[in-house]
Amino acid sequence: MKITVNETERGFLFKKGRFERMLMPGVYYVFGGSAVRKTSLAEPLHKVFDAPTLTAFKKDAAFVEQTVTQTVDDGHIALCYLDGRLGGEVLVPGRYVYWKNGQDLRFEVYETVDGEPVPEGIGAQGWKLLELARLAQIETVAASQAGILTVGGKLVRVLTPGTYAFWTGVKPVHVERMDLRRQELALNGQEILTKDKVGVRVNVVCSYRIADARKAYETSQDAAAEFYTQVQLAIRAHLSGMTLDELLLERDQIGEKLVAVLRPKAEALHLEVFEAGVRDIVLPGDVRDILNTVLLAEKKAQANVITRREEVASTRSLLNTAKLMDENKTLYKLKELEYLERICQNVGDLSVSGGDLLGQLRELLRGSAK
């Protein structure tokens, strides 16, 4: 049988099932009991032949010279570089055989331990290849966050902002991100019964931040949720001890008292409290109507007091004026002229001759009245 081996191929001669030698490009004739298996130089040999056959090939010096063998032990992986560029295959534990084919083949072997960081020297492309092969996990922690790294459910360390890659395998690798910025906690529609048995709804706001991410994670399963409950309980305990009038009058001071109560509770959860306050107080309809009635009555009473005060002031002013006029005849005359001026503004013609001016004016007014 005539066999042709092309330039891009190599042949392997077997006699009665046993490997004899590797065939270089050329024409060969084989006879009974012999067989030739050809393979392309572009195809990795470990994908064509099994391990025992590849071991047999190593008896041929030409095969050894033209191939590269890489063994990857358990707990390791290898990346293949072709002419200095990263190839598209990640080598897991096993044995691999490649044709040199005029290329510079280089392998980098790395030990894999679950949760340990992947070397940065591999580069972003290598990280992506490892992630696609499910051998690594890429995690990014934002500038305002802290990342809690756990491996197999055990806290390993806190990650600062940045991008990381971790080896993955049997143990699950998880990164929980915690926002370190100032946060606002809103408790809306909290129904509270005051000391004088009036039901009200209050809306409360509180601002806080995580002071220590690691300790907050170790202390509580969900520090934010637990702090929400603590704020809720503090509001109920404090406001239920106040009457409605006290609640309305001391609304602005309630926040300071809540902060004082919440600060030790927050510190136990490794949080920092900044401020708290009552944003809204919603009263029942009937209570609101009663308060409006009381307020209206108070305003009316205040208006009456102001009216009486002005009347008293006006009377006192008239009395003082009368005393001055009684003591000063010139002032009395000036006052006569002032009234005369006012009368003249409303009268077309007025004639006055001698005598008592006020008396004559009085007679004129009487005549007009008749």
Please tell me whether residues 11 and 106 are part of one structural domain. yes
Whether the full predicted model's pTM is greater than 0.85, yes or no, is: no
In 10 A of CB 89, how many CB atoms? 14
Q: Please tell me the predicted confidence (pLDDT) of residue 242.
A: 86
Structure tokens at 226: 């637990």
What CATH code is carried by the domain that includes residue 198?
Answer: 3.30.479.30
pLDDT of residue 26: 93
Q: Which residues lie closer than 8 Å to 7 by C-beta, 6 or more apart?
A: 25
pLDDT band at 288 (very low <50, low <70, confident <90, very high): low
* 298 domain residue, yes or no: no
Show which of 266, 283, 300 is a domain's final residue: 283
Pairing of strands 2-5, 271-282: unpaired
pLDDT-derived band at 217 (thresholds 50, 70, 90) equals: very high
* pLDDT, mean over the chain: 85
Same domain, residue pair 59 and 94: yes
Token pair, residue 48, equals 């064509």
Domain span including residue 208: 183-283
Our count of domains for the chain comes to 4
Q: What is the pLDDT of residue 359?
A: 65
Residues 338, 353 within the same domain = yes
